[in-house]
Amino acid sequence: MEADTYTQSAFEAELPIPRGMARIMRFSNDQPTNHVFRRGAHYWLDLCLTPRPEKARGCYSERWGPHRFERLGEIFLVPPGEALHVRTDAGDNQASIACEIHADSVDHWLETPLEWTDRRLEGGLDIVHPYIRSCLSRLAEEMRHGGTGSAELAAMIAGQLAIELARYLEAISESPITGGLASWRLRLIDERLHRGGSTPSLGELAELCSVSIRQLTRGFRSSRGFTIGDHIAQTRIEMAKRALASDDSIKSIAFALGFASPSSFSYAFGRATGVTPLRFRQRHLRGRE
């Protein structure tokens, strides 16, 4: 890691895992951030527990040059030996669970060594994977509320996380992208999702992009490495996290995001994050104190 990476962060808790470490970290974002993650022999996984700052972007400048910055999702990955340049706007303080896993713990499960293609690097900047998210969230809960057998349970969760990460990375094809959606179509999809309101149907998004539903679903997966359904669901959760940092009522947030009721919003949010919207808001408020 570069020397300036965590000058504005603090550890809330940490938990050793086999050949690695999991930490809950709090970042001060009162100023725009501009730093570089460089991992040695470890994979670095970051799951935001509070909303990421607006316009959080990452660039593998040694691979892509200094100007190509891609969006950072709820979960992002920095591979061993790679340097990720991260920029964000100023905003509220942020909390994340950061998990370091030795490369051998993940690579052991790979059928063949990975080639870190542009597509695979980009796919690691926005990981939409329910099992990876679940493992990271479970480690965070264990750090905060661990009890009997905590070390043994953390080791098992970390073992599952290593396997799920290996599977995810293998699923991103090493071949050149063919049949993917054009960048302007991907941008239109993201712009529509961030407008809020009722969840767009596949038909609406296909019409927006001037393609068939089949072309939309296959092209999106080819471009991003995950399904458009997963992307829609995760985008709504990220928007919910940002809204919960405001003074809007949970009921109004649920309807603004297109949920049929506050209870359906609470169920979806809890399934994705492991906590209720109210509990998430309370944690966010404590982090700002």
Range of lowest pLDDT (109-118, 178-187, 201-210): 178-187
Rounded Cα distance, 169 and 106, in Å: 10
Instruction: Tell me the β-bridge partners of 57.
Output: 71, 87
Of 225, 236, 222, 221, the residue nearest 127 (C-alpha): 225
Dump pLDDT digits (tens) for 229-282.
988 888 888 888 888 888 899 999 999 888 889 999 999 998 888 889 998 888
The residues, ordered by sequence, that sit 6+ positions from 240 with a Cβ below 8 Å of its Cβ are 253, 257, 265, 269, 277
Q: Which residue has the higher pLDDT, 271 or 3?
A: 271
Please give the pLDDT value at position 288: 54
Round to whole Å and give the CA distance between 178 and 150. 45
Place of tokens 């829609």: 232
How confident is the model at residue 50, as a pLDDT? 82
Nearest alpha carbon to residue 87 among 62, 61, 63: 61
Q: What's the rounded mean pLDDT across residues 47-52?
A: 84
Q: What pLDDT score does 7 carry? A: 42
Please state the CATH superfamily assignment of the domain spanning residues 183-287 in this structure: Homeodomain-like (1.10.10.60)
pLDDT above 70 coverage of the chain, percent: 92
Structural domain spans, the chain: 9-171, 183-287
Average pLDDT over residues 211-226: 85
- Mean per-residue pLDDT for 202-206? 94
The more confident residue out of 283 and 121 is 121
Q: How far apart are CA 75 and CA 193, in angstroms?
A: 18
Whole-structure pTM value: 0.68
Give the residue, 7 or 43, on which the prediction is more confident: 43
CATH fold, domain 9-171, is Jelly Rolls (2.60.120)
Q: What percent of the chain has pLDDT over 90?
A: 35
State residue 179's pLDDT score. 64
Mind listing the pLDDT tens digit for each residue in 170-186? 887 644 445 678 778 88
